[in-house]
Chain A
Amino acid sequence: MRDTTSSCARNDAIETLSGAQLTAWQTDRLREVANHAYLEVPFYRELWDRAGVEPGLLRSLEDFARFPTISKHDLVQAGRFWTNPHQGSVAFSTRGTSGAPLLVWLSAEEEEAYIQPTMRGFRWAGFRSGMTALLMSPVWHRLAACEAHAIARLGGRCAFFWGSMGSEYTDSFLHTLSSARPEFITTTAPFLLSLVRGSTGATIRPHDLFKGVRSVVVVGLPLTPRMREFLRDRLEVEDVFERGGTQEGAAIDECRFHSAPHVHEDVCYLEVIDDAGIHVAPGVRGRLIVTKLTTTGSTFVRYDTEDIAAFAPGDCPCGSGFRRLRIYGRPESSVLVGDRLITAYDVRMCIEEDPALVGRNVLLIREANAQAGVLTVAVEGEAHDSANLQARLREQLGVASADIVWLGDLRVNWGFRQVLDGREIRLPRN
């Protein structure tokens, strides 16, 4: 068995640090990680030599902000020059939604560091010793690999369904749900929404099968407040929590106040920057930059995820000093309308103001007229109060015009992408 004592102690203690203490602690970790990267990973040494930054002189978060950001393209191009000699022996693939997928390595030491925040997040979501958890596939994501370890250490039992996270496996999921009777579930939001939609008109309704489930933790899609209520009410579970993270090291979990997921500051240092590379204030959107605070596994220092995110302003009522971050989407879940970047989350927020439209799949359509300020949105189901919805979209999203395509009976899979090119789908025009 791996020795977990020191990392447990480290992670428990960090939750009680003051803001200044946490900053000092993170600065030390960043210096340690940067020194390691400089000495062991040629890609970083060359990059930072060119940029004129020195890890040894890193004394503050402001110093760190002068280090250049890197992209997935940089890492794919770097190939073996990005190899960390301590990267570990297990690799996972990114989803490749923004180009080529990247292999990300995980070591035992790094996993140990990430199991602790997973346990914390599951405790926040209500997991208790003795419960059974129905979990995502451990090979799906490096964070998913930590889940079963976290459940076992919290004194629980793990169940897995056969298959993967596509909508074609919802029956398999329901089978395990009905036989394992879990109290706790982790899954992806698109999968859960596909399941709810697929059960429309079925003899056995989802809430019959979810009986006894206390918490559902979802990843993969930012939950709007109405979407959370919709899932909670439709499934009749006590609560639905949002969990997030990236293969590159970001890890976030919601507490029971649902004000935005907390950043697990003990394993990752997250920044949100504008196009000029400057940190933006809480509440202002920018691009999410990730640095892992471990020296093993694949090394990510100031990695630009391209995710659109913002830190939540103010404190959380739960009392945790960990910052809160809302990830709104990615370029592939957004469209540029005129000069405004509109995410699928923004559009759903607008659409779901009408209770009749909550739970319907919504897709943004990338079309040529977007340059002229026209937002095109496809909404599942029959037309409903189009004029008011168009007005809301125009007003709240600041676009010149909104074109709504009602999909009628046409069903489009719930997915992570949420944006289609106009040529990819033949839309019924209203």
Chain B
Amino acid sequence: MATENPYLLFDVPGGRLAFGDGDLDIWAEHLAWCYRMMGIPDGATIAVQDFGSSPISFLGSSLLMPGLQRGVAERIDGRFICLDASAERVTLTPALLAQLAVDALIIREDVLVLLSAQLHKKGLAELAQRTMKTIVVFGDEPPALNPVRLPPSRHLMHIENALLLAPQCVKCECFHLREGFYEVDGRMIRNLRLAAPTYDLPRGELFSPSHCAAGIRDWCIGWSPRGQGI
């Protein structure tokens, strides 16, 4: 179904997301659910290092988007730190993390190396690792383990043009495709809440519902330990 009268258009890699009245809150609720599945408690301070046109950023708070009644910050009664993912801004992050205790840093995989290097340079890598969860956002598959990067606490799968957001569960370690939001047919994953292209899962193993008690009706995606990089 196409979005009726969209008033917000976001170009993303491989497509466009269009939102009409009421759409944003559905996805902010889903993103808050993802954070809870990854073990982020209510009341948390979440910093997001991503582009402004990524839903992980713009769903962060009702202050960022018109028509968003309650963003993630309002839903978890927490705080949201906007950190753009440009290289210029990533270099500032260590100084900001030194000013404020952050519970979770959500960061795009492609800037994690840069941030890790900056944290090491400033002698803050160990502190950051000890005091906050680092959640790495990836696309088709989790990044391989890399000793020069901050070790991630969790991963969040994000396929931008399909608005596919699948969190790595704290119980089963797999990535949940939430019931009511995504439908699985073979290896095709379809968004049930927004007009978006179907995503063809290229790798990884799909587990049918009943796989995990944290989401008994969810399909789950798992990667082999080698591929998981976790």
Which chain A residues have a beta carbon within 8 Å of chain B's beta carbons? 1, 76, 79, 88-93, 95-96, 100-103, 106, 108, 111, 132, 136-140, 144-145, 148-149, 151-153, 156-166, 172, 175-176, 179-180
Closest chain A residue to B60 by CB distance?
Answer: A90
Q: How far is the CA of A172 from the CA of B89 in the complex (A)?
A: 19
Given contacts A90-B79, A138-B65, A149-B65, 18 further A-B pairs with CB under 8 A are A88-B63, A89-B61, A89-B63, A89-B80, A95-B88, A102-B99, A137-B51, A137-B53, A138-B82, A140-B84, A145-B63, A152-B66, A152-B67, A157-B8, A160-B52, A164-B84, A166-B87, A175-B11
Please, which residue of chain A has its CB at the minimum distance from the CB of B93?
Answer: A93
Residues on the B chain within 8 Å of A140, using CB: 52, 84
A108 B81 Cβ-Cβ under 8 A? no
A89 with B64: CB separation less than 8 A? no
Q: Once bound together, how far apart are the Cα atoms of A85 and B17, in whole Å?
A: 37
Find out whether the CB atom of A103 lies under 8 angstroms from the CB atom of B81: yes
CB closest chain-A residue, reference B5: A157
- A179:B83 contact, CB within 8 angstroms: no
Q: How far is the CA of A179 from the CA of B15 in the complex (A)?
A: 11
Q: With contacts A1-B69, A108-B62, A164-B85 known, is A157 near B53, CB below 8 A?
A: no
- How far is it, in angstroms, between the C-alpha of A179 and the C-alpha of B86 when the chains are bound? 24
Bound: A158/B68 CA distance, A: 14
Known A-B contacts A137-B53, A138-B64, A148-B65; the reply to A160 vs B11 at CB < 8 A is: yes
User: Chain A's nearest CB lies how many Å from the CB of B66?
Assistant: 3
A158-B9 CB under 8 A given contacts A89-B79, A90-B64:
yes
* 6 A–B pairs (Cβ distance < 8 Å), ordered by A: A79-B99, A139-B50, A139-B51, A144-B52, A162-B13, A166-B86
Does B182 sit at the interface, judged by CB under 8 A? no
Is B12 at the interface (CB under 8 A from chain A)? yes
- In the complex, the answer to whether B73 meets A90 with C-beta atoms within 8 Å is yes
A101 to B92, CA, bound (A): 7
Size class of the B contact interface (CB-based, 8 Å): 35 or more
- B38-91: which have CB < 8 Å to A? 48, 50-53, 57-58, 60-67, 69, 73-74, 78-89
Asked if A145 and B86 sit within 8 Å, CB to CB, the answer is no
Q: B57 contacts which chain A residues (CB < 8 A)?
A: 137-139
Q: Which residues of B contact A79 (CB under 8 A)?
A: 99
Choose from A76, A92, A158, A165 the contact partner of B8 (Cβ within 8 Å): A158
A-contact bits for B1-45, CB 8 A (1 contact / 0 none): 000001111111100100000000000000000000000000000
> In the assembled complex, how far is the CB of residue A41 from the closest CB belonging to chain B, in whole angstroms?
16
Interface residues of B (CB under 8 A from A): 6-13, 16, 48, 50-53, 57-58, 60-67, 69, 73-74, 78-89, 92, 95-96, 99-100, 160
Q: Which residues of A contact B99 (CB under 8 A)?
A: 76, 79, 100, 102-103
Closest to A182 in B: B9
The answer to whether B52 and A137 have CB atoms under 8 Å apart is yes
Tell me whether A179 and B11 are in contact in the complex, defined as CB-CB below 8 angstroms, given that A93-B82, A163-B53 are known contacts.
Answer: yes
Of all chain A residues, the one with the shortest Cβ separation from B95 is A100
Q: B87 — which chain A residues lie within 8 A by C-beta? A: 166
Query: Which one, A76, A93, A96, A111, contacts B83 given CB within 8 A?
Result: A93
Chain B contacts of A144 at CB under 8 A? 52
**What chain A residues lie within 8 Å of B52 (beta carbons)?**
136-140, 144, 160, 164
B89 touches A164 (CB 8 A): yes
Whether A101 contacts B96 by the Cβ 8 Å rule is yes
Residues of A within 8 A of B9 (CB): 132, 157-160, 180
Contact of B84 among A88, A90, A139 (CB under 8 A): A139
Write out the residue numbers on chain A whose beta carbons fall within 8 Å of the beta carbon of B92. Answer: 93, 95-96, 101
A251 to chain B, nearest CB (A): 16
For residue A96, which residues in chain B have a CB less than 8 angstroms away from its CB?
92, 95
- Residue among A76, A101, A172, A179 with max Cβ neighbours from chain B (10 Å): A101
CA A166 – CA B89 in complex, angstroms?
10
Q: Given the complex, which residues of A lie within 8 Å of B69, measured CB to CB?
A: 1
Pairwise interchain contact B11-A162, C-beta atoms closer than 8 A: yes
Of listed A91, A139, A163, A166, residue having the most chain B CB within 10 A: A139
Residues of B within 8 A of A158 (CB): 7-9, 66
**A159→B12 CA distance, assembly (Å):** 11
